Every structure is written in C-alpha cells, then in structure tokens.
Amino acid sequence: MCLLTGAGGTLGTAFCRAFAADYDIVAVCRRRRPDVPSQHESYVDPVAPDAPLPENDSRVFTVLADLEHPGQVERVVELALARFGRVDLLVNNAAYAGLHPQGVIDGDAALRDFDRHFAVNVGIPLRLAVRLGQEFWMHRDQDNRAHNRNVVNVSSLSGARVYPHQGQSVYAASKAALNHLTRHLAAEFAVFGVRVNGLAPNSFPAVISTDSVAEGITRLDRDDVTGRILALEGPAEPH
C-alpha cells in the first residue's frame, strides 16, 4: 500500500496511471485530483453506460488535504491507516518551487519564499515520515522487513548541482536539505526495518520523461538499498 503526496501533479498522476494495478494508493492532493479512476471518478462507455470497464479497476483512493495546514499530516496518516490498515511505501512527492530568475538580491521575493520552500520540501516529508513511524512502523520491526517497507523522497538534481541563472537558489537549498534529511532518516529508521531513499530527477518532462521518474520510485521501492539518492540525469541509466 502506497501513501503518495503531490498526487494531483504531473508525476503523481503518472505514478497512479502506471502503478494503480500494483499498489493500493492513497493519493493526497491539494486541489486537483489525479486524472485516474478513484472513489470519486470513473470512466463510462457512452454506448453501454452500465457495462464494466477494465479501466475502472483502480485501487486509487484520493484525499484532498493542504499539508501545510496544522493537523493535516496527522489526518492523512489516520485516513490511510483506517482505509487500508497499513502503509508499506511513503512517497513524498509534494513540492514547492518558487523561482527567482533575477537572483536572490532582486528585491525580497526569495526571502519571502524561504520559509515556504523549507516547510513544504523538507518539513512535510519529515512530518509524514515521523508520524507514520510513531503511529505504525516503530514497533513492527519484523513485519516492516517482511513487507520491505520504505520511504521515497522525491528530490531534484538541483539539490546537488548549481544551475546558473535559473533562479533556483532557495529551491535548490531546500532539496539539498531534503537529501541530507533522507540519509539521516535512513540511519534512524533502519532500527525498525524501514528503508529511506531519495530520487533526484532532472527536469521533467523537458529533459527526462515523467514515466521514467515514476519508474524510479518503484525501482527504489522494490530494491533493498537505504540511504541512497538515486539521480536521474536523462535518457541514460540512473546513477
């Protein structure tokens, strides 16, 4: 069972479309739901409206939540556990990217965006992982290892690279922080058998396909590594 944030975005929708047959997915979205069948939406054949369609065999359960608001992380964790009784994979995909093409010293825009970048890109992944650890994973060592339970934090290559004149200073700093948080969580969560890794893709879909990023998530889920930041640079194999 997968708890996925940022489900209404490009990557979240691609993940739900590609892997809804493989996972029960609690798809958390702020406003826009993923364009997939769920408890709210289904496809209808206009010629035979009552006929069952294989496209509707979806295991996606959507939840609208603004995770920046107090109590919403806890609500989402409670809903996921109440619905499915477990969480095997947490995908922290929700992100905020406020770019400042004129640089950080051009007015106060970058300074105003600082807190939100770190609250969304670092704080929400931390809070979700901590709450799941406290509410479900912490005392289930053997069960966690048997189900290969893990966290995938969706980061960015900009967390390890400098791309001049892109206005990414604050965004990149938050992703660098997420990368190091991922390594620390991997060390701490190993005590109760939960792996933690990061996925750092290049710009998608401009440089790398969104589907390949979604596949990178499942690659980390099915592996046995922990504390790794998997870089997806382009059409070639990941590093």
Instruction: Kindly list the domain boundaries of the chain, sorted by start residue.
Output: 2-232
For residue 32, pLDDT over 80 is answered with no
The pLDDT of residue 238 is above 60: no
**Could you list the active site residues?**
171
Whether the per-residue pLDDT at 88 is higher than 70: the answer is: yes
- Name the residue type at position 159: G
The model's pLDDT over 113-147, given as tens digits with 9 standing for 90+, comes to 999 999 999 999 999 999 999 999 999 999 999 99
Share of the chain above pLDDT 70, in %: 87
- Write out pLDDT tens, residues 213-230: 999 999 999 999 999 999
Per-residue pLDDT tens digits for 46-55: 666 666 555 5
Residues 193-214 have a mean pLDDT of: 92
Task: Tell me the mean pLDDT in the region 78-83.
Answer: 94
Whether 205 has a pLDDT exceeding 90, the answer reads no
Taking only Cα atoms into account, the Rg of the chain, rounded to an integer number of angstroms, comes to 18
For the chain, the average pLDDT equals: 89
Model confidence, pTM: 0.88
In CATH, 2-232 is 3.40.50.720: yes
Give tens-digit pLDDT for 15-26.
Answer: 888 888 888 999
